[in-house]
Amino acid sequence: MKMEDCLEFAKKLSKEAEEIALRYFSFEVKNTWKDDNTPLTKADTEINDLVIKRINETYPEHSIYGEEKSQMKENSKYVWVCDPIDGTMAFSCGLPIFVFSIAMVDQSNGLPILGLINDPVMKNTYWAYKGSGAYRNGKKISVLKNNTFENTYFTIAASGKAIGFSNLPLMKELSEKKCAVMKYPSFIYGGIQVANGKYIGAAFYHKHGHDVAALKIITEEAGGKVSDFNGGERRYDQDGVGCIVSNGILHKKILEIIQTSKI
């Protein structure tokens, strides 16, 4: 199986997903509410169903782990981890802050070997596979080489009681170090800017793998580092203990701050 072929498959799939998202996107988007008090739109479910259909057609032996629906197969070597619309809160309000994300994960260790993120509104597609480098619309990208936080950007997700950490100490210390902290209703939307060389880091205070799988491979192929909140590897085909995305140089410092914020 060639990674180039898998990448082309992911690119074509992302364009189909983009068409669905933009067809529904407006200030009149209707949504329902899931049990976890997050919104759900027809675009989420249609894209998730499309992903399952296309993977079953092209890679019938592979499993699918989607935010809205999954299809796990016995003895499959790979699982495609997908967030059909990361940023449904913004999408459901007609705000253009959402992305499609998909990663191909090796089930032997839970690590992604290919990832793609598509921003339908800005027409930016980010991708990488193991050993390829990272790209935005075909242009190679890399992380910032800064060794201090001063005059940089950082993005952060909401505090995660479920994983036992508060985001307040990190926000406070970064502010004191003159680092501008941003929060988006789509973590991937901001998190990909680490690989894109715009942000110094990102911290995800939740457990889900579908929010961070593609970020993992793209960021590391861009020269950065990704770990869980304990500084180790995590699986991206199941829940874990948060996620730190950084330029690598400042990863240890971010981890040290986060480790002081256990609740």
State the CB neighbour count (10 A cutoff) for residue 32: 11
Q: Which CATH number applies to 152-259?
A: 3.40.190.80
Q: What is the pTM of this model?
A: 0.96
Task: Return the closest-CA partner of residue 191 out of 131, 247, 129.
Answer: 247
Domain locations in the chain as residue ranges: 3-141, 152-259
The one-letter code for the residue type at 47 is I
Nearest-angstrom CA–CA distance, 228 and 15: 31
User: Burial letters for 205-242: b for 16+ Cβ neighbours within 10 Å, e otherwise?
Assistant: bbbbbbbbbbbbbbbbbbbbbbbbbeeeebebbeebbb
Return the pLDDT at 159. Answer: 65
- Picking from 217, 240, 219, 220, the residue whose alpha carbon sits closest to that of residue 229 is 240
Fold entry, domain 3-141 = Fructose-1,6-Bisphosphatase; Chain A, domain 1 (3.30.540)
Q: Rounded distance, CA 114 to CA 140, Å? A: 15
Res 38: pLDDT: 87
Per-residue pLDDT of the chain in tens (263 residues, 90 and over written 9): 899 999 999 999 999 999 999 999 999 899 999 988 888 999 999 999 999 999 999 999 999 999 999 999 999 999 999 999 999 999 999 999 999 999 999 999 999 999 999 999 999 999 999 999 999 999 999 999 999 999 999 999 876 666 899 999 999 999 999 999 999 999 999 999 999 999 999 999 999 999 999 999 999 999 999 999 999 999 999 999 999 999 999 999 999 999 998 88
Burial class from Cβ neighbours inside 10 Å (0-12, 13-18, 19+) for residue 138 reads: exposed
Contacts for 35 with CB less than 8 Å, ≥ 6 apart: none
